[in-house]
Structure 1
Amino acid sequence: MANVTKRAVLVGCNYPHTKFRLHGCIQDVQSIKRVIMDKFGFHETNIQVLTDDDRDGTPGWLPSSLPTGANIKAALNEMAKRAKAGDVLFFYFSGHGTAIPVLEAGRPFRQDEAIVPSDLNLVTDVDLRRFVNRLPEGVSFTILSDSCHSGVLIEKKKEQIGAAKKRKAPENPPKPKGKAEIKFLGFHFISHVIDDAAGFAHDGGNKTSQGAHKIFGKDVSLKFHPHYTGGAIELGPVQEDEGILLSGCEVDETSYDIVLGDQAFGAFTDAVVKFLNGHHLCATISNGQLLAGAAKKLEEQGYEYEQNPCLYCSDKNKSEPFLGGFV
C-alpha cells in the first residue's frame, strides 16, 4: 500500500443567479472533502475541487476552478493520466442531473443519464465510460453522484442494491424534514437554452447536438460530437469489474437538495457522511455496507419512499472496501 495514491475530483454546482438554483451542493463538497481526508487518507494536494460559489474577482480565484463541462473532464483526464496500478480514484458530484432522450431507428426509446455542469455543457454516460476505458489495469475508480437520474452513469454495470429493496409507501408516510428541492434539470429546458445560444430555432429535432458543438467546440460532450453521432468514433466495452457507482437514487427517481434551518445539503450526501462518521472503530466499510447504511439514514430522514440510493458494480467490488478502506 506504500505506493498507492488516492486522488479525487469533487464537484459542487449550486447554479447561483439562475432560476434552477440549488443550495447545498457546495456544502456537500466540503463535507465529502473532510471525510475522505480524515478517514480515507486522501491528501489535500491530490484533491481538486470545482465549485460555483461566486468567487469571481476574489484573490486567488481562477476560472479553471469553475465546474464547467470542460473543467470537469479536464480534471478527470488529468487524474487518469497520473493513475497507476493500485491507485484509488474518486469522482464526486453534487448538482442537477438530467435524462437525454435517445431516438434511434429500429431501437426502443431510451433516456441516457448525464450530470449538469455550471455551463450546461453536459457530462454524459458516454464521457464517463470513455474515462473508465482509459484507466490502467488495477486502478480502482468510484463515482458518488448526488443528483437525479444518476443511476447507470457508468454503462453496463450490475445493480447490486437498488430497485429490489424498494418498498411501497404507506398511505400516510412520515413527512421528510426540511424544505426539499429536486436535483433535476429537464433536457427540454437545456436544449432550448443551447438552441437559443447557438442561434437555432428549437423545433424538437436533432439540432441540439449541432448547437452544443457550435457553442462548446472541442469541449462538447462526446455524445454530441459529430464524429460520435456519425459513428466515426467507437468506444470499447467497459470490463465487468471496472468502475463503481454509488448513486443518490434510482434511474427514474429524484435526489433532494435540503434546506433545514441555516443548513443546506444533499440528502444522500448527508446520509453517507453521517454513516461514515458514525463508524469510528470500523477498519473497513464495503461499498455494499456504505450503500445500505446510507439508505438507512435516508429512511430516518423520511426519504425512503422517494429516494432509493443504488450501487452499481461487479459482485467483487460490492464487498471491496469503499475508497480502499479507512486509515
Structure 2
Amino acid sequence: MERKNKRLAVLVGCNYPNTPNELRGCINDVLAMKDTLVKRFGFDHANIQLLTDDDPKNSSSTMPTGANIKQALSSMVDKAEAGDVLYFHYSGHGTRIPSKIHGHPFRHEEAIVSCDFNLITDLDFRQLVNRIPKGASLTILSDSCHSGGLIDKEKEQIGPSSFDDKNATLKLSDHKPKTIPYESIFQHVSSLTNINTTDIGTHLLEFFGSDASLRFRLTSRDLEEGVLLKPDEGILLSGCQSDETSADMSPNMSNGKAYGAFSNAVQIVLKENKGKLSNREVVVKARDVLKGQGFVQHPCLYCSDENADDVFLLQMLEL
C-alpha cells in the first residue's frame, strides 16, 4: 500500500501579555493560518501543533518558550519522510545580536524571541533544515522584525536588492514594530544571572543550559568555520529584510482585530488567488499588498532556485 505523504505544522504566536513588549495580533495570525492550512492545503488538525502565550492556564508544554519551540520543531522533523510537507509559522518579536565571528565587528545575526527570551537564532534554523530528509520540505514563515536571513546561509531569491524605495517611511499609525532591541534583551537576561559579563551568550547558557541556542554553545572558531552546508529543502518567507521591522497592527487600525502586517498580507494573497502560487509569487504579491496599504517593510524569500518556483506548501488541488 502506497504511503500517504504527511503534512505537519508548528504554529507559534507570542503576544507577550502584560509586559512592556506586548503585541496584539500574533496569536490571531497563527489561528488564521491554522484555518487556512486545514481548508486550503490539506493539513489535518491532529498534525498541527499550536504554541501560544495567551492563557496563563496553558500547560508548561504549550507555552512558546525557547525549549518548547525547538522541541516541537525537532519532533516535526523527526517524523518527516520523503515527500512530506513541513511548515513553521512564527509571529512575534525578532531581534539582532552582535556576531562573534572575528573580522565582522558590525555584523549581526538574526533571532526570534520566545516568550521566555531564550533566543532561537539563524544557526538553530540552519541546523534544523540540515536534518530534513531528502525529498521532504520545510517552509518557514516568520512575521517578525529582522527576519530576513533567519536560515543561516540560505540563498537569497528576493531580498534587499529587489527594491529601490529604501528611504520610504511608514505612513500608518497605531502600529508597533515586532522587535525588542538587543540592549533590552541583554538587560533582561543578565538580570537572570549573577555573572558580570557583557557576553549575552554566557548569560543565556548560564540560565537555560543546553536549551540555549547552538550559536552560543559553539566556539568562535567553530562559528568561523561554519556549519556544514548541503543542498536542502529549507524555504524562508520573511516578513521583512534583516535590517527592517515588521508591523503589528492594533485593533484601532484593523476594524477591531489585531494582526501582523505580513501574516495578513499573505492571507489576502491566498484569498485573492485561488489557484496554485509559487513561493516567489506569494512573496512578490505580499510585497504589493503591503506597499498598497502604506507599509514599507519588504518580505524576502530565501531558498534554492528550484524551491523559489515550486508551489507554496505544495498545494495539490485548484480551489
Aligned partners of 2:314 and 2:26: how far apart in 1? Answer: 25
Q: Secondary structure at the match of 1:269?
A: helix
1:218 and 2:201 correspond: no
Q: What is the match of residue 93 of structure 2?
A: 96
Q: What is the match of residue 310 of structure 1?
A: 300
Aligned partners of 1:2 and 1:323: how far apart in 2? Answer: 19
Residue identity over aligned pairs, in percent, reads 45
Among candidates 267, 271, 274, match of residue 277 of structure 1:
271
Matched-pair contact (CA < 8 Å) for 2:14–2:26: yes
Gaps of 5+ in 2: none
What letter is aligned with 1:189? Answer: S
Q: What is the match of residue 121 of structure 1?
A: 118
1:268-319 Cα offsets, whole Å, 9 max, x none, are 0000001101223x1x11001111111111112111xx20110111111111
Q: What is the match of residue 164 of structure 1?
A: 161
CA separation of 1:131 and 1:6: change in aligned 2, threshold 3 A: same
1:242 and 2:237 correspond: no
CA separation of 1:180 and 1:232: change in aligned 2, threshold 3 A: closer
So what's the TM-score if we normalise by structure 2? 0.92
Shift of 1:160: 1.3
Aligned partners of 2:307 and 2:85: how far apart in 1? Answer: 13
Q: What is the match of residue 194 of structure 2?
A: 199
Q: What is the match of residue 296 of structure 1?
A: 288
Aligned partners of 2:71 and 2:148: how far apart in 1? Answer: 23
Aligned partners of 1:103 and 1:129: how far apart in 2? Answer: 17
Q: What is the match of residue 185 of structure 1?
A: 180
What letter is aligned with 1:219? Answer: D
Between the two proteins, the alignment pairs up a number of residues equal to 312
Aligned partners of 2:170 and 2:16: how far apart in 1? Answer: 30
Matched-pair contact (CA < 8 Å) for 1:103–1:109: no
So what's the TM-score if we normalise by structure 1? 0.90
**What root-mean-square deviation, in Å, do the aligned CA atoms of Structure 1 and Structure 2 show?**
2.1
- Tell me whether 28-37 or 107-116 shows the greater mean CA deviation: 107-116
1:200-248 Cα offsets, whole Å, 9 max, x none, are 34x5x32x222111111121111122xx126579864332443110000
Matched-pair contact (CA < 8 Å) for 2:94–2:180: yes
Q: Secondary structure at the match of 1:296?
A: helix
Among candidates 250, 256, 273, match of residue 262 of structure 1:
256
CA separation of 1:19 and 1:313: change in aligned 2, threshold 3 A: same
What letter is aligned with 2:204? Answer: A
Shift of 1:174: 8.1
Q: Secondary structure at the match of 1:181?
A: strand
CA separation of 1:241 and 1:77: change in aligned 2, threshold 3 A: closer
Aligned pairs for 1:104-143 within 5 A = 104-143=101-140
1:92-123 Cα offsets, whole Å, 9 max, x none, are 10000000101443445310000000000011
Gaps of 5+ in 1: none
Aligned partners of 1:113 and 1:229: how far apart in 2? Answer: 18
What letter is aligned with 2:177? Answer: I
Aligned partners of 1:235 and 1:218: how far apart in 2? Answer: 20
Aligned partners of 1:53 and 1:30: how far apart in 2? Answer: 12
